[in-house]
Amino acid sequence: MEISRTDGKLKIIMLIMYVILSIDALFYVTFVRVSMHRVVSSGKARSFLNEVGSLPGNMQRVQFWVCAAVILLGFSWILRQLTLSRKIEISSIVFDFILCLSVTVALDFNYNGLFLWAFANCLLYTKHYEHWYMMMGAGVLIYIATSPSAAIVRHGAWMISDLISVFSAKTQAYLTALFSMINAISIVLFFIFCLMLIVHKQKTIDNINDLYERLTLANEMLRESNLKYEELMDENARMAKVMERNRIAREVHDTIGHTLTGLAAGLDACVALSAGASDTLKSQLNLLSEVCRQGIVDVRKSVSQLRPDALERQNLLQAVRALIEKTEHVANTEISFDCNVDALWLGEDEEHAIYRLIQEGITNSIRHGKAKKIDIVLHRNDFMLRIDIRDDGQGADFIDEGFGLRHMRERVEMLQGQITFKSDNGFEIEAYIPMRRGEK
């Protein structure tokens, strides 16, 4: 969305303004020429000189200059439409003011309507309105100082009315009306322009506000994403740690465990072979065999300790069952587990999410709900896995999604699933997770 470029409707009103004001200026100078010829041809030149306070200049030259100035104003406007340079915009507006002043002076301050054009351009290209009062003051000052009435006070210049008075009474009335109308139209056009400019600027402001709102929203989302990302990074790091520990455990199990097992078997063979040997050797071999077996047990224990979580050691269902068993044992809570599948082929992330969901659900029920009984259901159809955790605890009058619940929701939504929380004679968490395509 461009803000500085001229709006289409504004362009049209400016074009109208340009054309009308230019015609006005040219009309003034042409009128002066025509009526001067009339003065001269009617033999009233001397009495006309008596009436005027100063002498009109060479109107042929003035007419030429007004034409030239109007064309230059047009060029300057077109230049502003084409350029993007602020410097050119400002200097062309200053140039416009000089042109307007020169035309007004050439017409001996009888017509200063062209200044409205310069003001309009000035308003249009102003970007900051902090000094609006100075702009307004300068504008009013220029307009009043160059107005025909001010000119009379200043040096008794000739007036268009002096020239109107050389026509017949009837024509005079028409001419006076015509000139008032020209002035009125100029001012009305300027007024319309100002209104349209205000509307245009308001639109721009609205647009900016809208953009700002969207930006704030995006920022908020970005912040949340960041948070998630950080969590994910933690998770990843943890996973990497787990995998590494698993690998090490496997290594230890496969290498040292294998070696020790071989060693133990070898030692047993040695014991059998040493039937005829001395008792000392036998007892030494038995001792070695014993140490070796102890080593195997120690290695197994170490390997077992290297695997950090039940889930990492077992498949999901085993892990859940272990969790339930452990919790029942620790918390003195009865937990039922209804599962209609024997095995689930799930991705690591899915398993993880489901395990955490159940773990969090149970923890919540015991910690917040003080539940005595928890029913967990894990059912699967062709496309969907349904997990339902219901307790008989206190529930909540109003479900405020704290970190725990939000975390659950996010986990489920990351898997394109849905989760609902209900509190009705206890608390219920119900989640649906779609099964991935191409998997069984």
Partner 1 sequence: MIRIRNLVAATAAMAVTAIFTLSAYHSQNVELEFAMFGGNNWDVAVQDSYVVYDEAIAEFEKLHPNVKVNYVKGIMKEDYSEWLSEKILMDKAPDVMMIQNKDFDKFAQLNIIEKLDNWMETDTSFDSSKIYSTALEAGITDNTQYALPIETVPYIMFVNKTLLATEGIEIPKADYTLKDLYDICKKVTKDTDGDGIVDQFGIFKYSWQDAAAANGAVMFSSNGKKCNFTSEELKKAVAYMITLNELNGSQAVTQENFDAGKVAFMPLTLAEYRTYKTYPYKIKKYSNFQWDCIPMPQGENGKNTSRVDSLDVAMSSRSEHKALAWEFMKFLTTSEEVQRKIFEDTSAASVLKSVMEDDSAETIFTEDMADADRTLHSQMISSVIENGQAEPQFSAYEGAMQLADSEISELIKSDSQSDLESELRRIQQKVTEYISVF
Residue with structure tokens 């082929």?
345
CB of 1 to partner 1, least distance (A): 33
Binding to partner 1 by residue 60, rule CB under 8 A? yes
CA distance 157 to 81: 38
| Residues with Cβ within 8 Å of residue 242, at least 6 apart in sequence | 307, 308, 309, 312
CB of 94 to partner 1, least distance (A): 20
Nearer to partner 1, 26 or 36 (CB): 36
Nearer to partner 1, 57 or 139 (CB): 57
CB of 162 to partner 1, least distance (A): 12
Nearer to partner 1, 60 or 219 (CB): 60
| Residues with Cβ within 8 Å of residue 165, at least 6 apart in sequence | 51, 172
Cβ(17)–Cβ(116) below 8 Å: yes
State both tokens at 194.
């100002």
The side-by-side arrangement of strands in the sheet containing 384-391 is 334-339, 373-380, 384-391, 427-434, 418-423
Nearer to partner 1, 39 or 316 (CB): 39
CB of 88 to partner 1, least distance (A): 14
Residue with structure tokens 């206890």?
426
Nearer to partner 1, 53 or 402 (CB): 53
CA 20, chain centre distance (Å): 44
Q: Under rule CB under 8 A, how many of the chain's residues touch partner 1?
A: 19
State both tokens at 200.
């245009």
CA 159, chain centre distance (Å): 60
Q: Which of 6, 10, 57, 394 binds partner 1 (CB under 8 A)?
A: 57
CB of 150 to partner 1, least distance (A): 20
Nearer to partner 1, 157 or 346 (CB): 157
Nearer to partner 1, 53 or 434 (CB): 53
CB of 204 to partner 1, least distance (A): 34
CA distance 369 to 429: 13
CA distance 315 to 219: 40
Contacts of partner 1 in 25-54 (CB under 8 A): 36, 39-40, 43, 45-46, 48-50, 52-54
CA distance 326 to 319: 10
CB of 194 to partner 1, least distance (A): 37
CB of 44 to partner 1, least distance (A): 8
Nearer to partner 1, 46 or 329 (CB): 46
CB of 189 to partner 1, least distance (A): 33
Cα 325 to Cα 357, 362, 377: the distances in Å are: 17, 12, 16
Q: In DSSP terms, which residues pair with 431 in a beta bridge?
A: 387, 419
Q: Which of 13, 17, 24, 56 binds partner 1 (CB under 8 A)?
A: 56
- For residue 377, the SS3 value is strand
- For residue 127, the SS3 value is coil
Q: Which of 29, 59, 142, 435 binds partner 1 (CB under 8 A)?
A: 59
Applying CB under 8 A, the span of 58-66, 188-196, 312-320, 346-354 interacting with partner 1 comes to 58-66
CB of 49 to partner 1, least distance (A): 5
Nearer to partner 1, 61 or 214 (CB): 61
- For residue 436, the SS3 value is coil
CA distance 100 to 93: 10
CB of 176 to partner 1, least distance (A): 22
Cβ(80)–Cβ(125) below 8 Å: yes
Nearer to partner 1, 39 or 124 (CB): 39
Contacts of partner 1 in 66-85 (CB under 8 A): none
CA 288, chain centre distance (Å): 73
Q: In DSSP terms, which residues pair with 107 in a beta bridge?
A: none
Total number of residues shown for the chain: 440
CA distance 146 to 25: 14
| Residues with Cβ within 8 Å of residue 270, at least 6 apart in sequence | 285, 289
Nearer to partner 1, 58 or 336 (CB): 58
Applying CB under 8 A, the span of 59-67, 106-114, 185-193, 254-262 interacting with partner 1 comes to 59-67
Site string for partner 1, 216-255 (x = CB under 8 A): ----------------------------------------
Footprint of partner 1 (CB under 8 A): 36, 39-40, 43, 45-46, 48-50, 52-61
